[in-house]
Amino acid sequence: MVFQFENPDDSPGFLLWQMSNLWQRKMNSGLKKLGLTHVQFVLLAGIIWLSQGQETVTQAKLAAHAKADIMMTSKVLRALEQRGLIKRETDSKDTRAKSLTITKEGYDLAIAAINVVDKVDNEFFRILNDQVTDFNSQLLKIINANNS
């Protein structure tokens, strides 16, 4: 037998890939109306989330929070900065680091996007009903086991 699984629907990786593609398609469709990609939204929302802790948000902290590639994070942040949605400045404590702040325009756009994302998520995962917490626990178990 060529494949480990008898049926493609028995492969968790293939199912995850299919589900991720379906979810991303719906998410990007909703966010397109706001002129955002999903990764741009994740980084904007991440800045807001991390800023609530009153600590300086740096590109490195944001990339770690999003579990995103640091170079991709930098490229996307540069585009957000060019649109006037964030400010990137040399960190006062570490001149190698860039500290991030969200502008009023960026904050307002992120809040609008959060509403879109919540709606898409609620519709996409509605089939889970009261099993969302268990589903999230399983996802976190996989993420934490592979986060190295």
Mean residue pLDDT of the chain comes to 93
Q: Kindly report, residue by residue over 25-57, the tens digit of the pLDDT.
A: 999 999 999 999 999 999 999 999 999 987 789
| H-state helical runs in 53-103 | 59-66, 70-82
Q: Kindly report, residue by residue over 91-144, the tens digit of the pLDDT.
A: 777 778 889 999 999 999 999 999 999 999 999 999 999 999 999 999 999 999
Distance CA 85, CA 132 (A): 32
How many other CB atoms sit within 10 Å of the CB of residue 45? 18
Tell me what pLDDT residue 43 has: 98
Tell me what pLDDT residue 122 has: 95
Whether residue 148 has pLDDT greater than 80: no
Q: Which residue has the higher pLDDT, 110 or 147?
A: 110
Radius of gyration of the chain (CA): 18
Distance CA 47, CA 19 (A): 27
Tell me what pLDDT residue 97 has: 80
Angle between helices 12-32 and 104-124 (to 10 degrees): 130
**Domains in the chain with CATH codes:** 34-145 (1.10.10.10)
Residue 63 contacts residue 76 (beta carbons within 8 Å): no
Name the band, by pLDDT with cuts 50, 70 and 90, for residue 8.
confident
Residue 97 contacts residue 64 (beta carbons within 8 Å): no
Distance CA 76, CA 23 (A): 21
Tokens 């998410």 correspond to what residue?
A: 27
Long-range Cβ contact pairs of 77-85 (< 8 A, separation 24 or more): 77/43, 79/40, 80/40, 80/43, 80/44, 80/106, 85/44, 85/109
